A and B are shown apart, each in its own frame.
Chain A
């Protein structure tokens, strides 16, 4: 076999392809995410659907559905490698940055699939009219990227622990709180039809959060991965 200089990104893409193939054969995380999302959406729409909710409550419910649904699946990305004892195989064949990028991309694809189902359903079931769609989409994209960055590094940290579920909740709550508060506020502004400039402070915060989390993930992951 010929050796070829594969880039960091190419190797991460192979890892993503492998993870997607494994996921679609077992639906280990996908089923959990989608079932949780549909259950939460149904509960929310049955209990709140008859009332006309103000935008603040609607945007809070929207991000709660996204947050709790994604938590049930995104945390599994390293836990699964640890439980199936393939983590050492990955350590042997790939450098930490390749693994981090591959797993980030995998979680991003999972969250994207979740949002393709959840966002239109939420809008229909809650009879929601979004007056500034571009602001809504910008907040959704940046919020999702931040969520993926944070949950991926937390998933790597907790994967070696014995009480994974409890530790994930304890670690993720303080880390994700600023992201959720900002995303909820940005979504509220988009529902109310505020201008892009009115939502700019929220967007700036979301961008900053994303940059900080991505940088912290790169710096921390080497230590988390090798011990």
Chain B
């Protein structure tokens, strides 16, 4: 059983307050939608949850079967799709996933990695350099990476950016699947995406 708790989170950049007193608690099969206008701190909040940046105050606790995990252990439970996270353009789609599996301490099974790539509709381009991909294809590949470990916690920032209608349907499927088995946190500006959350946080108030 995985759980994620944010306790009294606050973030300042210099004197500028981004947000303060953010509290929430999520367990398996629950979801949170973070909404707010541009610059309200949605991406910053997700980066804090991932451990990319430190909060100015408060803490994030990730637990597995009642045991609080350290940052390295917690990171292995995360899947993430965000505009600030790109895959390596100089590697092919398959090479990216092989490298990312290895550096996470996994023994890469190429057939399973190819399945992940096929799942996001890129099987014909798996041996092409990511440099040559369109923005939408890169976004799809990010989903293949995010689902690499069947993550307990999936964080999506502006999840449908650059995707066509088929890609948006794919995101719908992934979101539904994650809500049935783990924790989903989604940052969005789109009112239509509010339906995905059991809880909602509005930033920038």
Residues of chain A at the chain B interface (Cβ within 8 Å): 1-6, 11, 14-15, 18, 21-22, 25-26, 84-86, 88-89, 91-95, 98, 226-227
Write 30 A-B pairs (CB below 8 A) sorted by A numbering: A1-B101, A1-B108, A1-B109, A2-B106, A2-B107, A4-B105, A5-B105, A6-B105, A11-B103, A11-B105, A14-B102, A14-B103, A18-B91, A21-B95, A25-B129, A26-B90, A84-B86, A84-B89, A85-B86, A88-B52, A88-B82, A88-B85, A89-B88, A89-B100, A89-B145, A92-B52, A93-B75, A94-B103, A226-B52, A226-B53
**Which residues of B in the span 84-128 have a Cβ within 8 Å of any Cβ on A?**
84-91, 95, 99-109, 112
- The chain A residue sitting closest to B79, CB to CB, is A92
Which residues of the partner chain A approach B104 to less than 8 Å between Cβ atoms? 93-94
Given contacts A5-B105, A11-B105, contact A92 B75 (CB under 8 A): yes
Going nearest first, the 4 A-B pairs with the smallest beta carbon separation are A22-B90, A85-B86, A6-B105, A88-B85
| Chain B count of residues within 8 A CB distance of the other chain | 34
Using A92-B50, A92-B75, A226-B52 as known contacts, say yes or no to A18 and B105 having CB atoms under 8 A apart.
no
CB <8 Å contact, B88 and A22: yes
Q: A159: shortest Cβ distance to chain B, in Å?
A: 14
B78 at the interface (CB under 8 A from A): yes
Which residues of B are found within 8 Å of A2, using beta-carbon distances? 106-107, 109
- B204 within 8 Å of A by Cβ? no
A1 in complex: contacting residue of B53, B78, B106, CB < 8 Å = B106
Complex CA gap A84/B88 in Å reads 8
Partner of B51, one of A22, A85, A91: A91
B86 x A18 contact (CB < 8 A): no
| A1-B109, A85-B84, A226-B51 known; A25+B90 contact, CB < 8 A | yes
A89-B90 contact in complex given A3-B105, A94-B103, C-beta closer than 8 Å: no
Query: What CA separation (Å) do A21 and B94 show in the bound complex?
Result: 14
Chain A CB within 8 A of B54 CB:
yes
CA distance A182 to B105 in the complex (A): 41
- Please report the C-alpha to C-alpha distance between residue A1 and residue B111 in the assembled complex, in whole angstroms: 10
Least CB distance, A167 to chain B, in whole angstroms: 19
Contact of A92 among B85, B108, B129 (CB under 8 A): B85
Instruction: Decide yes or no whether B184 CB sits under 8 A from chain A.
Output: no
Q: Compute how far the CA of A226 lies from the CA of B86 in the bound complex, rounded to whole angstroms.
A: 18
Q: B85 to A85, Cβ gap below 8 A?
A: yes
- Knowing A226-B53, A226-B54 are in contact, say whether A21-B90 is a contact too (CB < 8 A): yes
Find chain A residues with CB under 8 A from B87 CB.
86, 89
Cα A95 to Cα B102 with chains together (Å): 13
**Are A4 and B51 in contact, CB atoms less than 8 angstroms apart?**
no
B99 partner residues in chain A, CB cutoff 8 A? 14, 18
Please name all residues of chain A whose beta carbon is closer than 8 Å to the beta carbon of B90 when the two chains form the complex.
Answer: 21-22, 25-26
Min Cβ gap B111→A in Å is: 10
